[in-house]
Amino acid sequence: NTKYSFSVDKAQLRNNKQPKKMSSMIKLPSCMLSVNSSSFSIKSSIFPKSISFSSSHFNNFKNPFLNSKTPMENQSFSVLSASKPQNGAVIQDSSFQGSESFFRSVLGNMEAIYLNKNPTAKAILELIRSADGDQICYDHFAFRTFGVNGHGIDSMSKFFLDFGYERREELRFPAKKLKAFWFSPPKVSTSSRGSGVHGPLPRIFISELLVDQLSPEAQEIIKKYTNISHCGKEYAALASAFGILTWEKPSYSEFQLLARESEYAAWTLVNGYALNHVTISTHRLASHLRSIGNLNQFIEENGFNLNSEGGILKVSPDGLLLQSSTVADSTYFEFSDGITEAVPCSYIEFAERLVLPQYKDLPAEKVEEFHRRDGFEVGNADKIFESTSKDQLTRRAA
C-alpha cells in the first residue's frame, strides 16, 4: 500500500482549472490530475488505469473541493494505492522507474561483455565463489567518457537516471584532467537477495576527460571520432551492452599520440563506453574474505597482481572506505591502419565500506548498507585509475 498526498488550490478547482500546486510523498511519474464540478481523476504511469472519484465520495464529510466551509484556500487529499502482482506477493515501496527485469538484463549484457574481454575479472569472481559461495554483490560499475560533443558523463548517465538513479557528489582530478559523478541506485521492489546483477543494484561511477584542457593535437583526434559518432552518444548504454564503439576504429599513431598525453584518453578511444570495472562489495561476502585485507592476500596468493599505486590498499581520510584493484588485462586491437597491438582493457575492484561511527554499537546482524560509509573518495579513486596505466601493466608483465 502506498499513500500519495496532493495539495490543490480550491479557487482553481472552482474555476475548473488544472491545479498549479501538486506534490506527492514520493515521485509520481507522468501524473495528471483532472477536476470538474462533479468528479476528479488521477492518471499516472504507475496506475494501470485512471482512478476516478465522483463528488458523492465526499458526501459524508462534505466535498472538500466544492462544499467545504473551511476558510483555507488550499486543500489536501490522499490516494491510497495497493498493487498486487500476479504471483500474489505485495510490491514493496520502490523508487525504481520502468521495468526492473529489462534494466537488470542490460546490466547483465554489460557484465557479460566485460567478463568475456577480461579473463582476470572472470577468474577472480569464480575463485571467490568457490571459497565464499555464490552471494557476490557489486558495489559499483564504472565508465569512462570524453567530455566533448555531448559524449561525456551525461551521455551514459541518462540511461541510469531514466530508471531512477540519482546523481550525487562531483569529484575532480586536476592532474588527470578528469571529473566524475557518482549515482546512487533506486529502491527496488524485489528483495535483492540474488547475486551479481541480480542482487542489490550497484552504484554508478562515471568520469569524463576534460578535453578542452588537452593539447590542440589531442583535442583534434578526440573531436574527430566523437564527430564520427555523432548521435552515438544517445546510445551509450546500448554500445556498452553490445561491446562496440560508437565511432570508427582509430589509427595506431592516433592512439600513441593520445597515450603519451593522457592514458585515460587512449583507453577511452579504443574501449569507448565499455565497463571500465566492476567492484565487489567485500563486506557483503560471507566468509573471512569479507575483510578486504584477507581478500587481497587471497587474490595475491592465487597469482593475481594488484594495483600498487599508493599502496595495495587505498584508504579514505576518514578510514571508512577501503579499496583495492587488480591490474587491467590487455587485449590485441586491430587499428584502422592494419597494425595490431596490445591495449589495456578493464580490471576488477574491491571495496569495503565500514560502519559509520554513529552506528558502531549495532549488532553485526542488524547492520544494513545505509549504516555504512557511502560515496567515493578522490584520493582513492585517483590511484584506482592507475589500474590501466602503462606503469602498472609493465609491472604485471614483469
pLDDT mean by block of 10 residues, the chain; 398 residues: 41 42 37 42 40 39 38 38 37 73 96 97 97 93 97 98 97 98 88 82 98 98 97 97 98 98 98 98 96 98 96 97 98 97 98 97 94 97 96 80
Q: 392: which 3 cell numbers?
A: 602498472
Enumerate the H helices of the chain as residue ranges: 10-14, 100-117, 119-132, 153-162, 216-229, 236-242, 252-261, 263-271, 292-301, 378-384, 390-397
Asked if 63 and 76 touch (Cβ cutoff 8 Å), the reply is no
Residue 186 is predicted with a pLDDT of 95
For strand 321-325 and strand 347-353, is the pairing parallel, antiparallel, or unpaired?
Answer: antiparallel
Residue 4 is predicted with a pLDDT of 41
Q: What is the pTM of this model?
A: 0.77
Residue 97 is predicted with a pLDDT of 83
> What is the distance between the alpha carbons of residues 225 and 234, in angstroms, rounded to a whole number?
15
Distances (CA, A) of 71 to 5, 57, 64: 20, 22, 11
Asked if 306 and 326 touch (Cβ cutoff 8 Å), the reply is yes
Asked if 356 and 371 touch (Cβ cutoff 8 Å), the reply is yes
Residue 192 is predicted with a pLDDT of 59
Residue 94 is predicted with a pLDDT of 72
Residue with cell 599502496: 311
